[in-house]
Amino acid sequence: MAIENGKPIENGKPQSTVKVTGTATVQPTKKPEAATCPLATFDLPYITFYYNQKILLYKTTPEQQFSDIVSKMKDGLAEALGYFYPLAGRLGQDEEKALYVKCDGEEGFEGGVEVLEAVAEGVEVTELAAEGNEAEKNSIIQELVPYTGVMNLEGFKRPLLAIQFTKLKDGIAIGCALNHAVLDGNSTWHFMSVWAELSRTPSSTPTDLPMHNRLAARSTRVPLTLPASPAAHEAVDPNGPAKVLVPRLFHFKADTVSQLKSSMNSSLPPEAKPFSTFQSLSAHIWRAVSRARSLAPTDITAFAVFGDCRSRVDPPMPSSYFGNLIQAIFTGTAAGLLLGSPPSYGAGLLQAAIDAHDSNAIIKRLDEYEGAPKLFHYSDAGMNCVAVGSSPRFKVYEVDFGFGRPERVRSGSNNKFDGMVYLYSGRDGDGSIDVELTLQPEAMEKVEKDEEFLNPVFSAK
């Protein structure tokens, strides 16, 4: 259910630490290259997910006035939207029920990006960025980003991008809500980097322009019969009512990540393909969550990776492809086998599943969806699942709007289900990784006390 600007309503009044002081609409500085942008098959599964939410926290100096910062960033945003013009559009559906983005040219079209300004001057960036006290920080963090509980389906009438600038005691929070039917994580951070670049150096030409030809990746037109409303779709969720969930951030230092990878690889024969950092850390998380859930040995546990397919499709697409070009890659095993085997067993399952997801596997998945389109629920990953929806390869801490690197990057509550994981590179760029994990309260309490997870020292032999 949508909660406007992240503020719950109690007794008819918003209960909030953050006060919204103004709203505006930012338009692109130039006319879009095309009046419409068709959505490809890769985009369609996310129409009934929710807006992706990202929060970036920055420290500023007293000399940097909030109003001046926001003005420059709005100017940079207007320039960036000229290149990433679908973000200033609205969803549309043609007479054959195929989805697209309306970018310009239709009578009565009102595009643009919603921008909110807010204040929370009693809240410190230093406090929100520090490790620990997660329970106390989460409610405040959620108020720093708009469109909580807003389904991508609402992009027919709502902006496809909403941004909230919040003045904090010692800095600024930038909360972004991005329609997941329009772009994935790779495109999100591409846009963010260009926006930051244009805010630092106005009127320059971005060093990495987006590619908007989605038909190059998949040109099939897929008719979709959409639900009457987001509430109607939520009402038929086979996974039942939403569970109480607890998000937590765990920081793994560079030497711990290196040790995990080395330990996972120590039992492999010389000719074997080594496990990547991602596979090693993911297997470590998978085992910890399975322990915390107290699964029976015969219970099946699954792991899902939302893998980037840009280099896997035939022909390959460039990294600058703007849109969704991801697919969920699944593997699974019995909990007893996962936990009773060496840690490298889980890493091996992940590696095999990822390696097998080649262009043929991608086409097969696209054919299946186009033959029987489905409106997913974001929690459809299933019971006992762990899913990773981000990548430590994204250069999130290089998003510099002119006042340095973010102090912390976080995700909002949208699209988080039991077992959802977001991975971010550590702020210092030294190989450390932040693990943002969401679980039910009982399981999370066990993870927080799990020394094998928090301070791993083991051999994969």
Q: What is the pLDDT of residues 22-80, one digit of tens each?
A: 999 999 999 999 999 999 999 999 999 999 999 999 999 988 999 999 999 999 999 99
How is residue 374 written in tokens?
């489905």
CA distance 47 to 26: 24
User: 345 with 287: CB under 8 angstroms?
Assistant: no
* SS3 label, residue 22: strand
User: 122 with 110: CB under 8 angstroms?
Assistant: no
> Around Cβ 371, how many Cβ atoms within 10 Å?
8
pLDDT band of 7, cuts 50, 70, 90: low
Helix boundaries (H) for 253-341: 254-265, 277-292, 335-340
CA distance 438 to 266: 30
With tokens 């940079």, the residue in question is 76
Average pLDDT of the residues of the chain: 92
CA distance 126 to 169: 9
> Around Cβ 314, how many Cβ atoms within 10 Å?
10
- By percentage, how much of the chain surpasses pLDDT 90? 84
At 17 the pLDDT is 84
With tokens 């998003």, the residue in question is 399
| pLDDT tens-place string over residues 322-340 | 999 999 999 999 999 999 9
At 5 the pLDDT is 60
Cα 1–chain centre separation: 19
CA distance 151 to 49: 6
At 18 the pLDDT is 93
Question: Looking at the annotation, which residues are catalytic?
Answer: 180, 400
CA distance 286 to 338: 9
Q: What is the pTM of this model?
A: 0.94
pLDDT band of 131, cuts 50, 70, 90: confident
At 1 the pLDDT is 58
Q: Strand (E) positions, 136-201?
A: 161-168, 171-178
Say which residues have a Cβ less than 8 Å from residue 291's Cβ, sequence separation at least 6: 339, 446, 450, 452, 453
pLDDT band of 108, cuts 50, 70, 90: low
Evaluate the omega torsion of the peptide bond into residue 315 and state whether it is cis, within 30 degrees of 0: yes
Of 338 and 376, the structure prediction assigns the larger pLDDT to 338
CA distance 96 to 221: 9
Average pLDDT value for residue range 166-184: 97
pLDDT band of 130, cuts 50, 70, 90: confident
At 105 the pLDDT is 64
Average pLDDT value for residue range 5-22: 66
Of 292, 259, 281, 276, nearest to 436 (Cα)? 281
Say which residues have a Cβ less than 8 Å from residue 166's Cβ, sequence separation at least 6: 18, 117, 118, 119, 120, 144, 172, 173, 174, 175
Q: Which DSSP category does 398 fall into? A: G
| pLDDT tens-place string over residues 211-250 | 999 999 999 999 999 999 999 999 988 877 778 999 999 9
* SS3 label, residue 119: strand
Q: SS3 breakdown of the chain: % helix, strand, coil, rounded to 5?
A: 30, 25, 45
Signed CA dihedral, 164, 167, 168, 172: sign only? positive
